Amino acid sequence: WVERLAPGTVLLHGWACAQDADLCAAIGEIIRLAPLRGMATPGGQNMSVQTSSCGDWGWVSDRHGYRYAAADPQNGQPWPRMPERFRQLAQGAAAAAGFSGFLPDACLINCYLPGARMGLHQDKDERDFAAPIVSVSLGLPAVFLLGGLRRADRALKIALHHGDVLVWGAEDRMRFHGVQPVKPGIHPLLGERRINLTFRKAR
């Protein structure tokens, strides 16, 4: 079912469940070409989440800052192509949430092992804040923190399960958000991890 959490925030429960095996196979192929890796923040902290990317642009972080890069810094090669089914999934979910014509050029793959978390932050490395962001949750469940436009604003806790798709746009695009530490568990398809696909228009 479709749940509007805020004016520009829509949770599509189980939206990706029917194609979970196809998505997992595609993720496996991408991370064979561009392996998941831990990145350091500009402050020198190691992130607990492991990341990779596909599409025209990949999100990278190092001592010089956060940015989108056309090549994987680990091997100098372009990121793997974004599979057609990824683009269709993101575009369809965005349209169902009221954002038609979404054409993502970047897909970040975040892998959370038990204990991994993401601190409160805003997504502001993209050029065009008018495009929505689409997030697909797979594997172990997680508690998502949906904050406000200021860091100190109280955050809503939202349970995200396998197959859930969240779309953010308009006035909610710049909300602070994060993910609480993932609890240990075993998912039948993905095993001991949560994978999140984040689709964006980076450039």
Contacts of 99 (CB under 8 A, 6+ apart): 131, 132, 167, 169
C-alpha 3/C-alpha 129 separation (Å) is 23
- Neighbouring-strand partners of residue 60: 67
Applying CB under 6 A, the span of 12-20, 62-70, 88-96, 174-182 interacting with ligand MD5 comes to 174-182
What is the separation of C-alpha 21 from the centre of its chain, rounded to a whole number of angstroms? 18
Which partner from the list Fe ion, ligand MD5, none does 53 bind, CB cut-off 5 to 8 Å by kind?
A: none
Residue 195 makes contact with ligand MD5 by CB under 6 A: no
C-alpha 103/C-alpha 94 separation (Å) is 10
- Of 51, 5, 64, whose CA–CA distance to 194 is shortest? 51
Which residues contribute to the site for Fe ion (CB under 5 A)?
A: 123
Which partner from the list Fe ion, ligand MD5, none does 52 bind, CB cut-off 5 to 8 Å by kind?
A: none
Residue whose C-beta lies closest to Fe ion: 123
Among 23, 27, 133, 138, binds ligand MD5 (CB under 6 A): 133
Which residue lies nearer to ligand MD5 by CB, 76 or 89? 89
The site for ligand MD5 (CB under 6 A) is made up of: 108, 110, 118, 123, 133, 135, 146, 168, 172-173, 175, 177, 179, 196, 198
